[in-house]
Amino acid sequence: MSNIKYYQMIPKVDEILADDRISDLLKTIPRKIVLEAINEEIDRIRSLIQSNDENKIISSLNELILNIINTSIEKNKFSLKRVINATGVIIHTNLGRSLINPEIIDNIMKISTNYSNLEFDIESGKRGSRYSHLEKIISQVTGGEAAIVVNNNAAAVLLVLSTVAKNKNVIVSRGELIEIGGSFRIPEVMEQSGAILKEVGTTNKTHFEDYLNAIDDETACIMKVHTSNYKILGFTSDVPISELKELKSDKVLLIEDLGSGVLIDLTKYGISYEPTVSDSIRNGADIVTFSGDKLLGGPQAGIIVGKKELIDKMKKNPLTRALRVDKFTISALEATFRYYLDETKAISNIPTLNMMVKSIEKIEEQVKRVINILKQEINSEDINFDIVDDFSEIGGGSLPLEKLNTKCLAIELRKGNIVDFERNLRNYEIPIISRIFKNRILFDFRTIREDEENIVIKAILNAYENI
C-alpha cells in the first residue's frame, strides 16, 4: 500500500493559505480560526490514510478546500445565539429567562457606548453610588424604604444573611428548604453567608408556635422562603408573613425571599394570586429579596428591598463589591422598573407579562396563519399539520401549578422519523426549541412572536427537506 503517495498529496499549510478561495475567506474570518480548521482537516486526512480507506482519502483530498471553508464558517459562529422558544415555557431558565423589550436596548446602548454617571454625582461633582440610580424607582413601585441590587437572587439572599445573621441563627421552616434549578439549594446558599440555620416544623406543616419556640438570644431573623417551584398540597399549613410579624422585635428581623418578584396583582388577568413585593412589605417583612429576570421581566439581578437602616449596612458589606451589578444591568433594570409606574404599560411592554396575558384567540390566529402557509409550501400526504389544545407554563419556578390554556401547531409525519425532524429544527441557523409528545412535534405559539413566524416556517420547511 503506497501510503507515502497519499501523505505527499496533502498540500502544505502555506499552499492552502495561498488558494484564492482561502484568501477570500480570510477577509471575513480570523486567521486563527482558519488555521485551526486547516490543521484539523489535515489531521483528519492523515488518520484516514492510516486506516487505508482509499475512496475516502481521495474524496477528502478533493474536497479539502471546501471542507476547510465550511469548518471555518462553523467555527466562526457565536456560541451564545438566539433561538426560538416553541416550548410554551415563558420563563425558561435554560433559554435565558425573561426577554427585554427592544425599546430598552436604546438606553442600554447609550449607557454602554458612552461614558455615564454610573458612580458620579453630577450635582456635587463628586463620587456617587451606582445603586442610587435604582433606589428611588424601586422604592416607588414596591413601597420599600430603600433598595440595593446585586447579581442575582441567590446573591441577594447571601448578602442579606451575611449582613444581618452572620454567626447567628436564622429560623426557617422545613417546608421551605427548597432546591431551585441546577441542583442549587437555598439552605446551602443561606449557610454560605455564615448564618446558622435553625429548621423548624415539618415538611408539610409548620405552626406559629414552632417559630415562637425557636427564638432565643442567638436569633437574628426569621426567614420565609417562597416555595416558588413546588407546592405541597393536602394536609399542610404554613405561617404567613402577616402572622410572623408578631414575632418581630428589635433583635429579630423578618426576611422574605419571594423568588419571583411580582409587582402587580396578576389575579386581574386571570392568573392565580402570587404575593407581590408590596404585599410582603405591607405585611411586615423588614427585607424582601427577588429575582430581576423571573416575573419582574427584567435582566438577571437580585433585588433587595426594605428598611433603610438594613440596606445601608448591606451597602457597606465587602461582599457587595463582589456581587455588584454592572451598567448593562442597571440601565436595563431602571427601564424595566419605569414601565411599572403605569400598570397597563408594564403588561403590554414587558415581554414576560405580555406572554402571560396573551389571548388564546391571538395564539390560535398565529397557528392558523402558519399552517396555511405550510400547507401551500408542502403538498404532501406524508406530513400532517394540526391545531391542538395544550397548556403553557410560566416557568422559572414561578407559579408551578398555573396552567395557561394555549394552542399548539402539531406536526405528524407519516414517513420519516420525528426525532430526526426535531433535530433538524434544533440545528437550523436559528434553532427552534420544540418538544415531541406522542409522536408529534408541538410548537406552542404563546412564546413565539408574530415576527418569528417566518423563521419557524422556514425552519420547518428545511427540517422537512432534510429528513
Q: Would you tell me which residues interact with ligand PLP (CB under 6 A)?
A: 152-154, 180, 186, 225-226, 228, 257, 259, 291, 302, 397
- Least distance in angstroms from the C-beta of 329 to ligand PLP: 12
Nearer to ligand PLP, 86 or 150 (CB): 150
Nearer to ligand PLP, 3 or 192 (CB): 192
> In sequence order, what DSSP letters do the residues of 407-437 get, joined into one string?
EEEEEEESSS-HHHHHHHHHTSSS-EE-EEE
Nearer to ligand PLP, 64 or 156 (CB): 156
Nearer to ligand PLP, 323 or 441 (CB): 323
Nearest-angstrom CA–CA distance, 26 and 23: 5
Cell 430581576, located at residue? 292
Nearer to ligand PLP, 401 or 430 (CB): 401
Nearer to ligand PLP, 64 or 255 (CB): 255
E strand or H helix at 45: helix 31-50
160 grid coordinates: 442579606
Taking residue 122's Cβ as centre, other Cβ atoms within 10 Å add up to: 8
- Least distance in angstroms from the C-beta of 379 to ligand PLP: 47
Nearer to ligand PLP, 152 or 366 (CB): 152
Nearer to ligand PLP, 87 or 152 (CB): 152
* Residue 183 near residue 355, CB atoms below 8 Å: no
CA 273-279-284 angle, 5° bins: 135
* 277: Cα within 13 Å, side-chain hemisphere: 29
- Least distance in angstroms from the C-beta of 257 to ligand PLP: 5
- Least distance in angstroms from the C-beta of 421 to ligand PLP: 33
Taking residue 407's Cβ as centre, other Cβ atoms within 10 Å add up to: 24
- Least distance in angstroms from the C-beta of 288 to ligand PLP: 11
444 grid coordinates: 406552542
* Residue 73 near residue 431, CB atoms below 8 Å: no
CA 168-174-176 angle, 5° bins: 95
Nearest-angstrom CA–CA distance, 147 and 107: 22
- Least distance in angstroms from the C-beta of 226 to ligand PLP: 5
Would strands 432-433 and 84-85 be described as parallel, antiparallel, or unpaired? Answer: parallel
- Least distance in angstroms from the C-beta of 229 to ligand PLP: 6
Q: Which residue is nearest to ligand PLP (CB)?
A: 259
- Least distance in angstroms from the C-beta of 271 to ligand PLP: 17
Distance of alpha carbon 369 from its chain centroid, rounded?
Answer: 29
